[in-house]
Amino acid sequence: MNLNRMEQRISAEDIANMDKRYRVNFINSLPGFKSANLIGTHNEVGHTNLAVFSSVIHMGSNPALFGFVTRPTVVPRHTYQNIQTTGHFTLNHIHPGIFKSAHQSSARYPDEISEFDAVGLTPIYSEKIKAPYVSESSIKIGLELVEEHNITANGTILVIGRVLELFLNEDIIGGDGFLDLEKAETVCISGLDAYHKTQKLDRLPYAKP
């Protein structure tokens, strides 16, 4: 072993022996900074639901596919149930003006309470998507469910959606399609509960040997 002397080794056994809350904070910090999205849905009678997720990833560009991970047996289980019901959901970027409201949506509200009302965000609808967008979000994406995968190792589910439409301000779109997420003031998440703004180091050219 020739790892840097300053570094501590933490084993799988150490992780298993951690206090539950400590472990959740620790392991959630490990992948690095994560995307910050509010997922909007509604149920069979149109009651709206909103929940913050840090597991949304790009899965493909043509067709445009995004995935996220959810645990169906715990909060925010309504998100998953509603997507099963309607086949639709929305992704809505979080900015500094709404990150506290966004985080508050992770509280365990009763079924009859909409997180939109509880946290003070505004649901709006397009004609295309059977799920509410967050009016205050600078980037809003409407998707249809296309695929699910049950993760055997821990009972979570990977939910994959295809983009049907999206809304954003044109002035963040670069000439080559790149979006200036700093202009949109999109934030990111570390761990379970830390929100960060960003500062661009550089955009790098397509790498060639």
The answer to whether 144 and 87 have CB atoms below 8 angstroms apart is yes
Q: Which is nearer to a copy of itself, 44 or 152 (CB)?
A: 152
The answer to whether 134 and 140 have CB atoms below 8 angstroms apart is yes
Q: Which is nearer to a copy of itself, 41 or 132 (CB)?
A: 132
The answer to whether 106 and 193 have CB atoms below 8 angstroms apart is no
Q: Which is nearer to a copy of itself, 10 or 120 (CB)?
A: 10
Q: Which is nearer to a copy of itself, 7 or 44 (CB)?
A: 7
DSSP string, 91-152: EEE--TTTHHHHHHTTS---TTS-HHHHHT--EE--SS-SS-EETT-SEEEEEEEEEEEE-T
Provide the minimum distance between the beta carbon of 82 and a copy of itself in the complex, in angstroms, as a whole number: 19
Peptide bond into 76 cis (omega under 30): yes
Whose CA is closest to 64, among 158, 162, 172, 177?
162
Whose CA is closest to 145, among 163, 123, 171?
163
Q: Which is nearer to a copy of itself, 64 or 87 (CB)?
A: 64
Tokens of 198: 């960003």
Q: Which residues pair with 38 in a beta bridge?
A: 52, 92
Q: Which is nearer to a copy of itself, 45 or 205 (CB)?
A: 205
